[in-house]
Amino acid sequence: MKRSFAAASSLVLAAAAGLASQLAAYPGGTPRFVTNASTYCASCHSSVNADQLKDLQPDAAAGMLPDKRHYAAIAAGERAYSQVAAENREKLLTAVKALDANSKVDLEVSAAKVKPGGALTATVTTHGGGGPVVGVMLTDNDQRYQSSPVQVQGFLITRDPQVTGMDGKPQTAFLDAREPGLSKAINYVNIQNVYSNIDAGNYPVCKVVYSLTAPALPGEYTISAAFLYGTEKASSVGRQESPDGRVMPVGGQSAGSGRIQFAKPVKVTVAK
């Protein structure tokens, strides 16, 4: 990889965690944080596999996976799950595992080889995920703690990401929350009104299309995409109402019930 460019603006979602009273997931999405983002913001999400944790020691990586970070607490009735009847914990665990098995993210690019500054698109397709809001980021690699917005390599996002919800209709509400005058050409979006139906075996499909120009320097680059989603609220036994009326996962915001998953990276060659 040739030298990277500091093209991305502030990566503030990680800092946003510091504004909260505790590290916590965002079950209702991040409507206040409409900006470029990187995946270390999802501090309480479980990783779907160890491949995205190659920088960690095996024991540390295992502790970030659903088996230890989420499933074990449900099965044992630990923390907030102590308030859930054993029968419902069993139902919840079955439902969450089904959602995990049916949630994935794919990435396609319109061209594997482009000229410096050439145009291409990157299409991210999400399957499943427990809504009602899921997140998508276009990144430079598939490492949870070492990925960055795709722009750091010199790619430019040239127009607003085109978001299509599970109903097949375009969505603009998240990006419309950008302040007037600010570019909406950012690497991160929320997709709203996403509902998996575990009982019926229905797992929605959504899309985000990014329009890009390639880096100015020739070389071989990688692009990946991160998919952020919840699990418990997709089950009738996994939801509870907070004192302020919000519907929350029964395990609470810090239970590891959220997930972070990456698309298989694709290579883009920039050559004259």
How high is the pLDDT of residue 27?
A: 64
Residue 15 banded pLDDT, cuts 50, 70, 90: very low
Question: CATH for 12-270, among 1.10.10.10, 1.10.580.10, 2.60.40.740, 2.30.30.100?
Answer: 2.60.40.740
How high is the pLDDT of residue 3?
A: 42
- The C-alpha atoms of residue 250 and residue 233 are separated, in whole angstroms, by 8
pLDDT at residue 164 tops 60: yes
Which of 71, 56, 36, 54 minimizes the C-alpha distance to 262? Answer: 54
Mean pLDDT score, 70-93:
96
Residue 207 or 18, more confident = 207
CB atoms within 10 A of CB 117: 12
Q: Where are the beta strands (DSSP E) in the chain?
A: 46-47, 104-109, 113-114, 119-127, 130-139, 156-157, 162-164, 170-171, 188-192, 205-213, 219-230, 239-241, 247-249, 259-262, 266-270
- The C-alpha atoms of residue 172 and residue 177 are separated, in whole angstroms, by 9
Residue 1 or 270, more confident = 270
| Rounded to 5°, angle at Cα 243 from 240 and 247 | 35
pLDDT digits (tens, 9 = 90+) for 219-245: 999 999 999 999 999 998 998 877 777
pLDDT at residue 9 tops 70: no
How high is the pLDDT of residue 107?
A: 98
How much is the pTM? 0.88
Mean pLDDT score, 113-138:
97
- The C-alpha atoms of residue 124 and residue 108 are separated, in whole angstroms, by 7
How high is the pLDDT of residue 85?
A: 96
